[in-house]
């Protein structure tokens, strides 16, 4: 019996699969067992055609291919190559060793890339399981960005067979490539960023307070809510936030590329963080993930390490808004089904926008509000206090005036974000200020007696929860970083308190 290593996807992580082959005397047949999906069952025809059209004789034996472990569901066309290699090299005395093999076969024996290959190789490399891999040449451009693995590439099934027969395998070796973007080096680690601002804060006139809140939000990864009349610039600010978010390390770029692949996109390996903006008519499953049989990835997991924007927040379903509380607090979500239980990371920046009333004119000085008090109350009651408590920064935006001027550009804002980010990393933080744990909060958000007194007075005056107190501390820490202050001062606490929603 011969064995080749491959893998299958379980949620967003890879599970190692051993492809075993036996060839026994009996009525000629070819079967694949081990809970393979239809793409794997169809590989029998692709493998037969690829071998026969390349002058390989299909053995007149009873061929059984087993995908082990047999109780794990398998998916993907990338099992074609290991299955074909086992059949083509049945008589060869070759130890396939520690090589993992991935590749889809064309009917003419040409090897093709598949969407899962990058996801599987990256996942196995992160776990330290995979060190050497044989893949189609079409997969090389993406895989070469993964560090600390040896990549060998071939174009056809004959080359794959020759690879394992060859003593000199270095001629098939592909060099790893790096990410070519601007970066800052902190504590010996590179953090990449993109300095091209396709959407610029220069486009927004006035709204000085909202822009400052956006700067704080980006610098410390603080959840942000913008409330104002239609056309005041809420969505414009949210869409421009993506371009001033903090830089990301190589592993985060690879995770972003992995999410792109799972979302059916071609990864660009850009350091621009993910921006997800689902419509308010989206279903709960599309937002949080799930499905009848398997726990598929949803919008909040796709937004991991990036930004999630909910426009017209009160129009989202009540069940969606209430279910949002756990991933905002714990930064993870567990999707449970009968057959699968998958945990997704949800370390995203949450930004939302809303009108002050159903007609949108409650805060307007030029238009009359057409809503009754009851309609306004019902509209605001769609948002529960526990959800609002998880918002770090709240800004009530006024209408744009004709004499409002451009105040700051994205380039200037991003420069401040980079400075604040550097202070947080050099301080030894693993997470940005907005996502600090309780233990980290005690270490990095220390107050003097005067600041402590102001905070306690605010808690008593506004009846703030413990969560709200921690949010104020985290925002104050970011404001101090933006002011290049090592300690949180009185003015930082006062400014942080001003961003709390109190009505």
Q: What is the mean pLDDT of residues 435-464?
A: 93
Please determine, for residue 290, whether its predicted confidence score (pLDDT) is greater than 90. no
With a cut of 70, say whether residue 180 has pLDDT above it.
yes
Round to whole Å and give the CA distance between 154 and 160: 6
Please say if the pLDDT value at position 501 is more than 90.
Answer: no
Residue 475: which of 218, 240, 245 has the closest Cα?
218
The topology (CATH level 3) of 2-174 is Ribosomal Protein S5; domain 2 (3.30.230)
Q: Report pLDDT for 404.
A: 84
Kindly report, residue by residue over 415-428, the tens digit of the pLDDT. Answer: 999 999 999 999 99
| Three-point CA angle 104, 106, 107, nearest 5° | 140
80-98 residue pLDDT tens: 999 999 999 998 888 888 9
Domain with CATH 3.40.50.300 in the chain: 196-407
Mean model confidence pLDDT for the chain: 93
Arithmetic mean of pLDDT, 153-175? 95
Q: What is the pLDDT of residues 56-72, one digit of tens each?
A: 988 899 999 999 999 89
436-503 maps to which CATH number?
1.10.8
Residue range 222-245: mean pLDDT, rounded: 95
**Residues 451-474: what's their mean pLDDT?**
94
Average pLDDT over residues 313-340: 90
What's residue 241's pLDDT? 97
Q: What CATH number has the domain spanning 196-407? A: 3.40.50.300
Please state, in angstroms and rounded to a whole number, the distance separating the CA atoms of residues 201 and 222: 19
Bigger pLDDT: 2 or 317?
Answer: 317
The pLDDT-based confidence of 4 (bands split at 50, 70, 90) is very high
Which neighbouring-strand residues pair with 296? 290
What sign results for the dihedral spanned by CA atoms 445, 448, 449, 455?
Answer: negative
Per-residue pLDDT at 215: 97
pLDDT at 11 > cutoff 80: no
How does residue 407 score in pLDDT terms, banded at 50, 70 and 90? confident
Beta strands per DSSP E along 132-274: 132-136, 150-154, 173-174, 182-186, 189-193, 224-228, 248-249
DSSP code, position 479: H
Cα–Cα distance measured from residue 411 to residue 201, given in angstroms and rounded to the nearest whole number: 9
* Residue 503 confidence class, pLDDT cut points 50, 70, 90: low
Average pLDDT over residues 334-340: 77
Q: How much of the chain is in helix, strand and coil states, percent to nearest 5?
A: 40, 20, 40
> Which of 369, 349, 351 lies closest to 360, judged by CA?
369
Residue pair 124/78 in contact (Cβ under 8 Å)? The answer is no
Pick 199 or 502 by higher pLDDT.
199
pLDDT tens track for 351-398: 999 999 999 999 998 899 999 999 999 999 999 999 999 999 999 999
Q: What is the pLDDT of residue 292?
A: 61
Mean pLDDT of 455-481: 95
Residue span(s) of the chain under CATH 1.10.8 come to 436-503
Q: Are 297 and 9 in contact (CB under 8 A)?
A: no
pLDDT of residue 499: 96
The pLDDT score that the predictor gives to residue 293 is: 63
pLDDT confidence of residue 101: 98
User: For the whole model, what pTM was predicted?
Assistant: 0.92
Instruction: Find the distance separating the first CA and the last CA of the chain, reported in whole Å.
Output: 71
Range list for CATH 3.30.230.10 in the chain: 2-174
pLDDT of residue 294: 65
pLDDT > 80? residue 218: yes
pLDDT at 435 over 90: yes
Strands (E) in 181-306, as ranges, are: 182-186, 189-193, 224-228, 248-249, 275-276
pLDDT, position 340: 74
Sign of CA dihedral 236, 239, 241, 243: negative
């Amino acid at each position: 019996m011969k064995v080749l290593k491959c893998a299958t996807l379980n949620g967003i992580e890879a599970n190692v699969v051993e492809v075993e082959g036996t060839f026994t005397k009996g009525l000629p047949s070819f079967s694949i067992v081990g809970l393979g999906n239809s793409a794997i069952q169809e590989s029998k025809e692709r493998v037969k055609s690829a071998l026969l059209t390349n002058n390989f004789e299909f053995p007149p034996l009873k061929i059984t291919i087993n995908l082990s472990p047999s109780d794990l569901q398998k998916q993907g066309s990338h099992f074609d190559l290991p299955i074909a290699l086992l059949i083509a090299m049945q008589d060869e005395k070759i130890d396939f060793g520690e090589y993992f093999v991935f590749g889809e076969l064309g009917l003419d024996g040409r090897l093709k890339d598949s969407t899962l290959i990058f996801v599987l190789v990256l996942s196995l490399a992160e776990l330290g399981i995979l060190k050497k891999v044989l893949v189609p040449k079409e997969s090389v451009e993406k895989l070469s960005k993964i560090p600390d693995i040896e990549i060998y590439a071939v174009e056809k099934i004959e080359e794959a067979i020759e690879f394992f027969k060859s003593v000199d395998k270095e001629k098939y070796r592909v060099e790893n490539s790096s990410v070519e973007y601007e970066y800052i080096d902190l504590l010996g680690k590179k953090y990449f960023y993109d300095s091209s601002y396709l959407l610029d804060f220069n486009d927004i006139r006035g709204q000085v307070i909202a822009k400052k809140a956006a700067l704080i939000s980006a610098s410390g990864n603080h959840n942000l809510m913008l409330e104002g009349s239609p056309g005041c610039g809420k969505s414009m600010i949210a869409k421009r936030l993506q371009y001033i978010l903090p830089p990301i390390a190589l592993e985060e770029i690879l995770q972003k590329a992995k999410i792109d692949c799972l979302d059916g996109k071609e990864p660009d390996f850009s350091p621009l963080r993910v921006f997800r903006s689902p419509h308010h008519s989206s279903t709960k499953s599309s937002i949080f993930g799930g499905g009848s049989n398997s726990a598929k990835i949803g919008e909040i997991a796709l937004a991991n390490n990036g930004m999630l924007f909910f426009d017209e927040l009160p129009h989202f379903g009540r069940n969606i808004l209430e279910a949002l509380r756990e991933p905002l607090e714990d930064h993870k979500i567990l999707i449970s089904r009968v057959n699968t239980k998958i945990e997704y990371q949800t370390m995203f920046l949450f930004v939302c926008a809303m009108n002050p009333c159903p007609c949108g004119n409650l805060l307007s000085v030029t238009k009359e509000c057409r809503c009754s008090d009851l309609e306004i109350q019902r509209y605001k009651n769609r948002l529960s206090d526990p959800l609002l408590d998880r918002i770090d920064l709240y800004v009530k935006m006024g209408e744009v005036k004709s004499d409002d001027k451009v105040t700051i550009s994205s380039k200037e804002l991003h420069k401040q974000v980079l400075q604040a980010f550097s202070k947080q990393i050099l301080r030894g933080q693993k997470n940005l200020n907005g996502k600090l744990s309780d233990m980290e909060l005690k270490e990095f958000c220390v107050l003097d007696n005067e600041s402590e007194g102001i905070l306690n007075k605010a808690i008593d005056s506004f009846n703030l929860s413990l969560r709200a107190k921690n949010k104020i501390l985290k925002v104050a820490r970011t404001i101090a970083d933006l002011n290049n202050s090592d300690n949180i001062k009185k003015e930082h606490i006062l400014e942080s308190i001003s961003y709390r929603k109190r009505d």
